[in-house]
Structure 1
Amino acid sequence: MSQILEAPTFKWSFLHPKYFHTWIGVSLMFLISWLPYRVLRLLGQKFGLLIMHFLKNRRNIAERNLQLCFPEMTVGERKVMLKENSKHIGLALFETCMAWFWPDWRIKKHVKYIGFEQLDAIKAKKKGVLIIAVHSLNLELGARAFGTHTSGFGVYRANSNPVYDWIQYRGRTQDNGAIDRFDVKRMVKILREGGLLWYAPDHDYGCHRYAWAPLFAVEKACTTTGTHLLASAGKADVMTFTITRDRKGTGYTLTLDPPMAAFPYNDEAAAATYTNKFIERSILRAPEQYMWLHRRFKSRPEGERSLYE
């Protein structure tokens, strides 16, 4: 099996006073993780409503994204969606504490797994699997919960704060491996060796290895062609993975869908359109839990004005 990303190591320089605020923050995260789940859920929702009250720019981006994707949605419906979305943004912060510091047994206690039995048949064929995830606000916990059932490799982006990066890496790789986001060759090798690779192609990564593909009501969304590259070069099955919070407040459901039967391995533009359809399905399972505050449509074809003006 390919080697994973070289893990960040502890350095005595991490104890410099300029990092004290980081240590205080991480210590607080650890203490928060010990709270009962129902308390974490309640506090997370209240905290989300509070912080989004001050993040006006992000609220405007989220509202604009909903306008673009769901033009049929009324003003009242958007208002309700944005309020619920704010609650889930706060929950995401608390779920990061859970993902990094909860033991496996506590994760499994609150998670229901659907469709994971399919992996046995795929592993028997010694075929790699490209797991397509979306940036739901509970993705951090979803990755950890996935790893407690079946380990795989996630695409990793290092943090500029070395102390936070060291702790983040340890939190994210308890049950999974990590690959640098620019190490495409290693990603392909892992897939060819029959491994599982996490990949989230639902954001706007700029006009580099991209195609214009429909996403909801937006006809031209800048969509990475990385999905096609990894699937075709890695000779891998492509599956979608979704984590949703139970609206009743009892836990989470992880759903692993069957392999994409008609994935166009020979056409990257068609693959972008095809993948976006599955991304839409994943988002619609719990649209209030998606990361709408990202400027998903910031890139535009040459000559077209910004959709966020």
Structure 2
Amino acid sequence: MKGLVEGLLRLLAWLPLPVLRAIAAAGGLLGYALARPRRRVARTNLRLAYPHASPNEIERLTRAHFIKLMQALLDRAWLWYGSADTVRRRCPVRGMEHWSRERPTILLVPHLAGLDAALTALLQQGVPITGFYQKQTNPVFDAIVFEGRMRGGDLRAYSRDAGVRRVIADMKDGRPFYCLPDMDFGPKDSVYVPLFGVRAATLTVLPKLGRLGGAVVVPLIARMTPTGYDIRLEPAWEGIGDMDVEAACIQMNQAIERWALEGGPEYLWSHRRYKSRAPGDPPVYA
């Protein structure tokens, strides 16, 4: 089964990008039609993010979101099985001057559709990266995702249960930590701070790792374009480890709000970001 899927991905990697994106758009519309629970979650999240949008606009964004997700999924064919020249041409990176191997760095990566493109592009730029890897439910898909990400370059991937000691050592050795903190993993190691006006369980990994590792935070943003992805490193946030944990998480969520709105349908609106509720807070996905 794994060989069959990999063979299909290798074939898709040869397609011209407009053709691949068109195929993915059709698949995204099918996913929009069939994935009713995720469609409902995306609508709810979008209504919170765009409170003045009409129902028709929310529905348009919801459809576009499923299309962008499928396009990003099929783009992994050429990201993981295409040539290095193809990846470099389709994934230009701006702002490399904001990263220095001489100082411990956390790469803050919001859940935009291009997060795998950003990872592969930076690895090909020669940036050695450390990150956590969450196993996929399907073992075939898990093996393909893990091996695909490893093909990009010098990547170390640890289990989320491994703790942060090796991550901190890697950061001090010049390996930035690829951090995707804008997901709901429950109340453990989280604080409840606003995101689009609603309190959300927000991981405290950014300020805590900043403090323990003496690290700066460099945002890494990937936007989908007709020719691939536009990937940029933003100026570093200094002193994140010196901030109060809650204040730092508020600052992070405010930045994520801005990137999510800039990304429009490319942000992961179908994730149940408000699944965990603080005591007394009403459910969001009722």
What interval of TM-score do these two structures reach, taking the shorter chain for normalisation?
over 0.9
Residues 54-96 of structure 1: CA deviation (Å, up to 9, x unaligned): 1111111100111122222221221221121121021022012
Q: Is the 8 A contact 2:114 2:229 kept in 1?
A: no
Which runs of no fewer than 5 residues in structure 1 stay unpaired?
A: 1-19
Please give the residue correspondences for 1:1-309 in structure 2 after superposition, counting only pairs within 5 Å: 20=1, 22-119=2-99, 122-123=100-101, 126-149=102-125, 150-174=127-151, 175=153, 176-183=155-162, 184-218=164-198, 220-246=199-225, 249-261=226-238, 263=240, 265-309=242-286
Which runs of no fewer than 5 residues in structure 2 stay unpaired?
A: none
Instruction: State how far apart, in whole Å, the 2-side matches of 1:153 and 1:36 are.
Output: 32
Tell me which amino acid in the other structure corresponds to 1:242.
I
Instruction: State how far apart, in whole Å, the 2-side matches of 1:239 and 1:140 are.
Output: 17
Once the two structures are overlaid, the 10-residue window that deviates more, 53-62 or 30-39, is: 30-39
For residue 160 of structure 1, report the CA deviation from its aligned partner. 4.6
Rate the CA distance shift 1:38–1:62 in 2: closer, same or farther, 3 A: same
For residue 163 of structure 1, report the CA deviation from its aligned partner. 4.3
For the aligned residue pairs, the C-alpha RMSD in angstroms reads 1.7
Report which of the two structures shows the higher radius of gyration computed on alpha carbons: 1
Instruction: State how far apart, in whole Å, the 1-side matches of 2:140 and 2:39 are.
Output: 30
Tell me which amino acid in the other structure corresponds to 2:120.
R
For residue 294 of structure 1, report the CA deviation from its aligned partner. 0.5
Rate the CA distance shift 1:262–1:284 in 2: closer, same or farther, 3 A: farther
Instruction: State how far apart, in whole Å, the 2-side matches of 1:262 and 1:139 are.
Output: 25
Residues 233-264 of structure 1: CA deviation (Å, up to 9, x unaligned): 01111011110012xx1221101100114535
Instruction: State how far apart, in whole Å, the 1-side matches of 2:138 and 2:29 are.
Output: 27
Rate the CA distance shift 1:143–1:278 in 2: closer, same or farther, 3 A: same
Percent identity over the alignment is: 28
For residue 146 of structure 1, report the CA deviation from its aligned partner. 1.9
Residues 175-215 of structure 1: CA deviation (Å, up to 9, x unaligned): 12222223211111111223211000111110001111111
Once the two structures are overlaid, the 10-residue window that deviates more, 57-66 or 172-181, is: 172-181
Instruction: State how far apart, in whole Å, the 2-side matches of 1:73 and 1:261 are.
Output: 35
For residue 32 of structure 1, report the CA deviation from its aligned partner. 1.3
Q: Is the 8 A contact 1:95 1:138 kept in 2?
A: no
- SS of alignment partner, residue 117 of structure 1: helix
Q: Is the 8 A contact 2:187 2:201 kept in 1?
A: yes
Q: Is the 8 A contact 2:193 2:201 kept in 1?
A: yes
